[in-house]
Amino acid sequence: MSSWSCPHVAEDADHCRRTRRPCVPGRPGCVLPDNLRYALPLATRIAQADARHGDVASNDDPDAGLTPPAK
């Protein structure tokens, strides 16, 4: 078994400071590697997290809410 940590997750609120949305590993904008495999499809996990957090924003724009990289 392995674990991971992300420098962008705000653990007190379980949201991503990078995407400004609920933390869903693999969501567009996520810094975790693309080759990870998950038990549930990404769309399902995003919908569940958004419903839990009351986020009704559209997921049509995968770059919505992303902050530009630090220079």
pLDDT tens digits along 58-67: 444 555 545 5
Sign of CA dihedral 48, 50, 52, 56: negative
Q: What is the model's pTM?
A: 0.59
Q: Specify the pLDDT at position 43.
A: 92
Residue 1 has pLDDT above 70, yes or no: no
5-57: pLDDT as tens digits: 788 888 777 788 998 888 888 888 888 887 888 899 999 998 998 888 776 55
Domain map of the chain by residue range? 9-53
- Please say whether the beta carbons of 28 and 63 come within 8 A: yes
